[in-house]
Amino acid sequence: MQPELRQKLQLYLQLLTKWQRTINLVAPNTLTQAWERHIEDSLQVVDMIPQNATIADLGSGGGFPGMVIALARPDVTVNLIESDQKKCTFLLVVSRETGAKNVHVYSERIENILPKLPVDVITARALASLGTLLDMCKSQPNAMCIFLKGETWRQEVDLARKDHLFAFDSQPSKTEPSAAILRIMRV
């Protein structure tokens, strides 16, 4: 990892720790392992993003994986979509403090803003079941979806296949052996 990126990510974690005292950005029991649980987990999708892509990160919350992608990949444009105004304020502060000029924060509901955005890639982490995520993404049928899913990812795929047609591949998570990263196309 480049020293400049590490420095920005460490600043991000400092801000996360500070803001976590007043806003629930991540599960409180994960804060002591935030580098591994949130930063490294998010970094594993960075190389899956095509060059110069426009990304919509759904339910951005504390900014994972969207803000991490933006910091690691200045060539991409990242649209962070989060309906909670306080979390959006946090994301704007992180963007300003880290110098991430490729970030746009939308304080709106996903179904209101996603159809209006031209996107190549949609990301989400710890937001909803796979079926619900696919429903959210219907307005972007040509976008590649990259979802970080937990240990029940296989069951989520099976359930989603009952109501959706899609092609996907999976790769094991490097940070949680029972979890996976799903790359979904042609929804």
Does the pLDDT of residue 67 top 90, yes or no? Answer: yes
CA gap 149, 180 in Å, rounded:
5
* Rounded-to-integer distance, Cα 23 and Cα 106, Å: 18
pLDDT bin (cut points 50, 70, 90) of residue 79 is: very high
- Could you read off the pLDDT of 133-163 as tens digits, one per residue? 999 999 999 999 999 999 999 999 999 999 9
Q: Summarize the chain as % helix, strand, coil (round to 5).
A: 45, 20, 35
* Amino acid 17: pLDDT: 95
**pLDDT > 80? residue 187:** no
| pLDDT computed for residue 90 by the predictor | 98
Instruction: List the domains of the chain with CATH numbers.
Output: 3-185 (3.40.50.150)
- What average pLDDT does this structure show over 121-137? 96
Average pLDDT over residues 14-23: 95
**pLDDT surpassing 80 at residue 42:** yes
Cα dihedral sign, 133-135-140-142: positive
pLDDT in the model for residue 142: 94
At residue 31, the pLDDT reads 85
How far apart are the C-alpha atoms of 185 and 144, rounded to whole Å?
5
Question: CA neighbours within 13 Å on the CB side: how many for 109?
Answer: 3
What pLDDT was estimated at residue 100? Answer: 97
Q: What are the tokens at 75?
A: 């060539």
The pLDDT > 70 percentage for the chain reads 100
Nearest to 12 by CA among 39, 32, 33, 36: 39
pLDDT tens-digit readout, 1-13: 899 999 999 999 9
Stretch 63-82: mean pLDDT, rounded?
A: 98
What's the confidence (pLDDT) of residue 56? 98
The pTM for the full model equals 0.96
Query: Given pLDDT bands bounded at 50, 70 and 90, which one contains residue 78?
Result: very high
Collapse the DSSP code of 138 into the 3-class scheme (helix H, G, I; strand E, B; otherwise coil) and give the result. Answer: coil
Q: Which pLDDT score, from 0 to 100, does residue 186 have?
A: 76
